Amino acid sequence: MSNNRFFKKPGTGGVIAPHDRSAWIKGGNQRCVMPPRKPAGRAWRIILLGAPGVGKGTQAEMLCERLGPCHLSTGDVFRAAKGCRGVHRSTAMKRAQEHMKRGNLVPDETVLDIVSERTQCLNCSGGFLLDGFPRTVMQAEALEHLLGSLDLKLTAVIDYELPSEQIISRISGRRTCALCKTVYHITTRPPTVANRCDHCGAELIQREDDQPKSVKVRMEAYQKSTKPLIEFYRQRGLLHTIPAAGLPEEIYQRTRLTALARH
């Protein structure tokens, strides 16, 4: 699963090769085909935290394109596991599939086993950006041990924050095409024709988990589960809290100046 774009690294005039995430997505004997990054030894190793709707996905894309780390999302692995196309069916992946089929969360131990099967991705020459992992202190402790065994250190843990009412407004304004799944927003990215997809003309719908009541429940669950994790990284001097209000470019520059300027 590759990003087919080439992009310029700011200030270098050079071109960074597109990310090949086959090893992360599929596991098994898959290997990355990324050329070594230059300058040698410059690798960003970042963990992103942030509630649903805070804009974390947009920032992940911008950080990876401009700084070069590979975007490693456990959500992508689990979505690939559901399809089973080209995915290595290790014992851990089979357990994950069983939990997902029953509608259960994948337990810590299984998530850790899946990540541990992909240590070559953590050791990528360009670094990594972890999204969706770790989610608990247990996972964070295991990751700390795993990185230590690889003689690797985290650069930063970035926690994007936005007031709950703004997050609820962002998510509850989303509309999704019932056919091609393109996402719109009623105020910030409306379709040309009301309630109709610009691409295929199908009806736009509001997903059940995008409704205000559902968003509030998701927010409360996130804050409850993530609070100990935030404290874990604060004690290690790695946590940087970034206000997520404003345009994506403003938030990116805030991240660079606040969380990554010393590195």
Catalytic residues: 56, 135, 174, 207, 218
Q: Strand 15-16 to strand 7-8: parallel, antiparallel, or no bridges (unpaired)?
A: antiparallel
H or E element: which one contains 137? helix 137-149
| Structure tokens given for 253 | 């520059």
- Residue 169: alpha-carbon gap to chain centroid: 21
Write out the H or E segment, with its range, that includes residue 8: strand 7-8
Provide φ and ψ at 81, rounded to 5°: -65, -35
H helix intervals, the chain:
22-26, 56-67, 74-83, 91-101, 108-116, 119-122, 137-149, 164-172, 212-235, 248-258
